[in-house]
């Protein structure tokens, strides 16, 4: 098994729209493609992270509409799973009309799998004669099961893993920093091309966000007023925020994900790339550092979860970008890299994820600022140490501590947050028929 290939295959791929609602589209398209008739009823069951992330992110090609249920209905109407997380590129006004009518019919329901700690999407579609269930688990495109009329079409448990986790993650979780860094020692032509494509895609998205006049536009305004300096921090934060603004606003353009998250992909790739270019690092080393960033992002998520209580942009992608910055100038210097990891965790540990939404751009700005600052301080041999709260004796222990805080100490956050979201009139005005989370 080539671990880097597995990471790039399962966690670094193009996605059009927020990956949680689009995964509902994908699961519904899988189910509908096996139904062989029109969908008359649709039921969705999702983990808490997917539930909250489908609340406020705008779906592409929907005239500003939102929601996991509409996303699933669009997937069921399209019934084209080959597009995976880019399948909504084929949505037409007619598809949207049919999907909205299905939602409005009262024959669609969505349920939150309360207490479920890992990514999971179950979509069951029913026609006049048949019923099909499609299940994604462990990853946004990882098909665990497809069941038609009680008979298995696909049935696998995490590609050979007894606990439903993708098997490469069990190996990744047990590695140390030196071993992680060694995964990127010899990139082949295909891997390099894939990494370059990710940079190009995410840079292209960053050109779309200023027109939305959200977070990136406000940063630009503050610079024009003299409140912010036109420095490396500002330029990277502007580009990242602009890309996130565009993505959360439903712009019809894919980005390259990291850890299965488009926003994390934006933070990890653009921060690494732009800092490297500002520091006059050669392109080959920048590309290698982005491979390092994707690897670290995947490693952190082995501990905090696929959809964490804490902000993945800040924690996983922030750590990933900080490590990439150090790697560009110091190579596999684990002492400096550990300082960078510790500083990000000490600075941002506990920053919650309250769902995918336009405000994610603000958190991405925070992540970028901390990542650059932590990386540059580490290059000067400064960073937080074991005396500082969450920070452990090693970077690996610090990441494990972060996982403990997330999975043990903050386990009630999502359930409380879901109650808050449910109480919001603006959220509950959407035409979704929901079971209580």
**Confidence category of residue 128, pLDDT binned at 50, 70, 90:** very high
In this predicted structure, the answer to whether residue 436 has a pLDDT above a threshold of 70 is no
Is pLDDT larger for residue 421 or for residue 162? 421
**Confidence category of residue 427, pLDDT binned at 50, 70, 90:** low
258 backbone dihedrals φ, ψ, rounded to 5°: -140, 130
For 115-124, 223-232, 338-347, which range has the lowest pLDDT when averaged over its residues?
115-124
Dihedral sign (CA 185, 187, 192, 194): negative
What's the pLDDT at 430?
44
pLDDT single digits (tens) 31-88: 999 999 999 999 999 999 999 999 888 999 999 999 999 999 999 999 999 999 999 9
**Confidence category of residue 166, pLDDT binned at 50, 70, 90:** confident
Q: What DSSP line would sit under 288-308, residue for residue?
A: HHHHHHHHHHHHHHHHH-SS-
Dihedral sign (CA 242, 274, 199, 50): negative
> What ranges do the domains of the chain cover?
15-166+418-428, 169-411
Q: What angle do CA 178, 180, 185 make, to 5 degrees?
A: 85
What's the per-residue H, E or C state across 330-343?
HCCCHHHHHHHHHH
Instruction: Report the C-alpha gap between 265 and 267 in whole angstroms.
Output: 6
Instruction: Report the C-alpha gap between 248 and 254 in whole angstroms.
Output: 11
pTM of this structure: 0.93
In this predicted structure, the answer to whether residue 437 has a pLDDT above a threshold of 70 is no
Beta-ladder partners of 328? none
Q: What DSSP line would sit under 248-292, residue for residue?
A: HTT-S--EE-BTTBHHHHHHHHHHHHHHHHHTT--HHHHHHHHHH
Q: Answer for the pair 388, 327: CB distance below 8 angstroms, yes or no.
A: no
Domain 15-166+418-428 and domain 169-411 have a common topology:
no
Q: Answer for the pair 351, 314: CB distance below 8 angstroms, yes or no.
A: yes
Query: Closest by alpha carbon to 163, among 26, 302, 299?
Result: 302
Query: Closest by alpha carbon to 218, among 250, 243, 202, 241?
Result: 241
Do the bridges between strand 108-112 and strand 143-148 make them parallel or antiparallel, or are there none, so unpaired? unpaired
Do the bridges between strand 108-112 and strand 120-126 make them parallel or antiparallel, or are there none, so unpaired? unpaired
User: So what's the architecture of 15-166+418-428 in CATH?
Assistant: 2-Layer Sandwich (3.30)
Query: Closest by alpha carbon to 102, among 138, 62, 73?
Result: 73
pLDDT single digits (tens) 295-328: 999 999 999 988 889 999 999 999 999 999 999 9
What's the token pair of residue 104? 């409005």
pLDDT single digits (tens) 260-289: 999 999 999 999 999 999 999 999 999 999
**Confidence category of residue 426, pLDDT binned at 50, 70, 90:** low
Q: Residue written as tokens 């958190």?
A: 363
5 backbone dihedrals φ, ψ, rounded to 5°: -60, -40
**Confidence category of residue 425, pLDDT binned at 50, 70, 90:** confident
- Beta-sheet strands, E only, within 168-259: 255-256
Compute the half-sphere exposure of residue 78: CA atoms within 13 Å on the CB side of its CA.
Answer: 30
What's the pLDDT at 157?
61
Query: Closest by alpha carbon to 356, among 436, 255, 278?
Result: 255
Dihedral sign (CA 42, 118, 410, 369): negative
- Element (DSSP H or E) covering residue 170: helix 167-173
**Confidence category of residue 412, pLDDT binned at 50, 70, 90:** confident
What's the pLDDT at 321?
98
- Determine the topology of domain 169-411 in CATH: 2-methylcitrate dehydratase PrpD (1.10.4100)
What percent of the chain clears pLDDT 70, i.e. is strictly above it?
95
* Ramachandran class of 187: left when φ > 0, alpha when ψ lies in -120 to 50, beta otherwise: beta
- Beta-sheet strands, E only, within 114-195: 120-126, 131-137, 143-148, 151-155
What's the pLDDT at 56?
87
Helix (H, G, I), strand (E, B) or coil at 379: helix
In this predicted structure, the answer to whether residue 432 has a pLDDT above a threshold of 80 is no
Is pLDDT larger for residue 288 or for residue 156? 288
Q: Residue written as tokens 């994900």?
A: 257
Instruction: Report the C-alpha gap between 240 and 229 in whole angstroms.
Output: 17
Query: Closest by alpha carbon to 75, among 140, 57, 85?
Result: 85
Helix (H, G, I), strand (E, B) or coil at 94: helix
What's the token pair of residue 364? 């991405």
What's the pLDDT at 174?
95
Q: What is the mean pLDDT of the chain?
A: 92
Do the bridges between strand 131-137 and strand 14-15 make them parallel or antiparallel, or are there none, so unpaired? unpaired
**Confidence category of residue 154, pLDDT binned at 50, 70, 90:** confident
Do the bridges between strand 151-155 and strand 143-148 make them parallel or antiparallel, or are there none, so unpaired? antiparallel
What's the pLDDT at 165?
59
How confident is the model over 88-96, as a mean pLDDT?
Answer: 96
What's the pLDDT at 155?
81
């Amino acid at each position: 098994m080539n671990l880097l290939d597995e990471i790039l295959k399962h966690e670094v791929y193009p996605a059009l729209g927020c990956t949680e609602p689009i995964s509902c589209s994908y699961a519904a398209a899988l189910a509908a493609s096996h139904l062989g008739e029109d969908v008359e009823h649709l039921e969705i069951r999702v983990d808490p992270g997917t539930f909250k992330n489908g609340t406020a992110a705008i779906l592409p090609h929907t005239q500003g509409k939102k929601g996991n249920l509409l996303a699933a209905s669009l997937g069921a109407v399209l019934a084209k799973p080959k597009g995976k997380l880019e399948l909504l590129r084929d949505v037409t006004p007619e598809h949207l009309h049919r999907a909205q009518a299905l939602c409005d019919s009262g024959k669609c329901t969505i349920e939150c799998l309360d207490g479920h700690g890992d990514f999971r999407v179950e979509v069951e579609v029913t026609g006049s004669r048949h019923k099909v269930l499609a299940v994604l688990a462990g990853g946004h495109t990882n098909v665990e099961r497809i069941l038609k009329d009680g008979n298995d079409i696909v049935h696998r448990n995490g590609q050979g893993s007894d606990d439903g986790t993708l098997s490469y993650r069990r190996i990744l979780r047990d590695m140390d920093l030196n071993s992680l860094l060694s995964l990127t020692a010899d990139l082949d032509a295909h891997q390099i091309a894939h990494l370059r494509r990710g940079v190009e895609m995410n840079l292209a998205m960053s050109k779309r966000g200023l027109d939305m006049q959200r977070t990136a536009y406000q940063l630009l305004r503050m610079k024009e007023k003299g409140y912010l300096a036109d420095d490396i921090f500002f330029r990277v934060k502007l580009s990242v925020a602009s890309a996130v603004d565009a993505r959360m606003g439903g712009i019809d353009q894919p980005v390259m994900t990291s850890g299965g998250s488009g926003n994390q992909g934006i933070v990890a790739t653009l921060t690494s790339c732009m800092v490297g270019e500002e520091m006059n690092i050669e392109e080959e080393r920048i590309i290698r550092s982005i491979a390092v960033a994707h690897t670290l992002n995947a490693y952190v998520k082995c501990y905090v979860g696929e959809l964490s209580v804490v902000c993945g942009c800040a924690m996983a992608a922030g750590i990933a970008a900080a490590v990439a910055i150090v790697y560009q100038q110091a190579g596999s210097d684990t002492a400096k890299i550990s300082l960078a990891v510790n500083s990000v965790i000490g600075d941002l540990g506990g920053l919650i994820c309250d769902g995918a939404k336009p405000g994610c751009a603000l958190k991405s700005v925070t992540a970028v600022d901390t990542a650059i600052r932590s990386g540059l301080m580490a290059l000067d041999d400064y960073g937080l140490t074991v005396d500082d709260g969450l920070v452990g004796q090693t970077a690996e222990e610090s990441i494990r501590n972060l996982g403990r805080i997330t999975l043990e100490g903050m386990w009630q956050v999502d359930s409380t947050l879901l109650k808050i979201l449910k109480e919001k009139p603006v959220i509950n005005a959407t035409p979704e028929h929901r079971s209580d989370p």
